């Protein structure tokens, strides 16, 4: 069973200028549903993923630092070795020239 409501508007001479017919079901209840918490779950997943990403970025930075330190140490050792070779060459040259007063 539906309810019908008719509204008519007339002009000054009595002619119908507008007729509005509204039909509706009596007792009709409209239920609006809200979110079921899915946004919270998605938010937690995003926070978790950002945490993992941050961990790997910081870990990668530590690896780069360790690699840079190893390269610095290797360059220092090569420099020490070159100094020793240079000193040995100086001593050998001094022996050949007879200037080994050192």
Rounded to a whole number of angstroms, the distance between the first and last alpha carbons of the chain is 122
DSSP helix/strand/coil, 12: coil
- Establish if 99 belongs to a structural domain: yes
Residue 91 lies in a domain: yes
pLDDT tens digits for 7-46?
Answer: 888 888 888 888 877 777 666 666 666 566 778 888 899 9
Report the chain's C-alpha Rg in angstroms. Answer: 46
Domain encompassing residue 71: 66-102
Predicted TM-score (pTM) of the model is 0.36
What whole-number distance in Å separates Cα of residue 20 and Cα of residue 7?
5
What is the C-alpha to C-alpha distance for residues 56 and 52, in angstroms, rounded to an integer? Answer: 6
> Over 90: is that where the pLDDT of 48 sits?
yes
Length of the chain counted residue by residue: 102
Tally of domains in the chain: 1
């Amino acid at each position: 069973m539906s309810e019908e409501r008719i509204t008519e508007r007339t002009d000054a001479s009595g002619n119908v200028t507008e007729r509005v017919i509204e039909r509706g079901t009596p007792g009709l209840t409209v239920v609006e549903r809200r979110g079921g918490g899915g946004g919270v779950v998605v938010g937690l997943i995003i926070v978790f993923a950002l945490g993992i990403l941050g961990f790997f970025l910081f870990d990668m930075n530590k690896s780069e630092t360790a690699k840079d330190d190893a390269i610095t140490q290797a360059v220092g050792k090569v420099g020490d070795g070159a100094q020793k070779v240079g000193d040995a060459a100086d001593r050998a040259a001094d022996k050949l020239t007879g200037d080994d007063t050192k």
